[in-house]
Amino acid sequence: MLDTKEKTDGPVLSMDRVFNAPRAAVWAAWTDAEKLAVWMGPEGYTCSDPTADARVGGTYSVTLTGSTGVSNTCLGEYLEVLEPERLVFTFSWRQEDGQPGQRMLITIDLEDLGGRTRMRFFQQNFIDEDARDNHNQGWTGSFAKLAAFVEADGGKA
């Protein structure tokens, strides 16, 4: 298991985004399984079977299905949960044998900007630059859906 203090290798992905929504709404969108189902996955993907037990040692998983019908499940374990400002968890794609693949680490810091929220997203331990670039594309699309969700009604839908 990756530890928040453990040095990891490989390319990293860093993204910074400001949402026109309160920090509590963005936090809930990351930690509530029903809310994850609304926005997780880039445009053209649906999210099914979400689980989220957002506590240290708890786990999550979501299955993303593209327009071609191919499904992939990502899963991980929460390593640090400091509501509503910091979330650290592992991230892996489930392999054909059911086991987790390359284990990455995601850190999300949420800063309250007085009704708006700055999200700093950091993912590390990619196997190579292509994997990082593919995740950058996927997260960019997911975060567009996240923005639409939390900004529409504060994520209460």
**What pLDDT shows up at residue 8?**
60
Please check the confidence at residue 5 and state whether its pLDDT lies above 70: no
**What pLDDT shows up at residue 155?**
56
Considering only CA atoms, which of 152, 113, 154, 114 is closest in space to residue 28? 154
Q: Please, what are the domains in the chain?
A: 12-153 (3.30.530.20)
Could you tell me if 125 and 23 are in contact, meaning their C-beta atoms sit under 8 angstroms apart? Answer: no
Instruction: Please state the rounded mean pLDDT for residues 135-152.
Output: 96
**What pLDDT shows up at residue 2?**
43
Give 28-85 pLDDT, tens digit per residue: 999 999 999 999 999 999 999 999 999 999 999 999 999 999 999 999 999 999 999 9
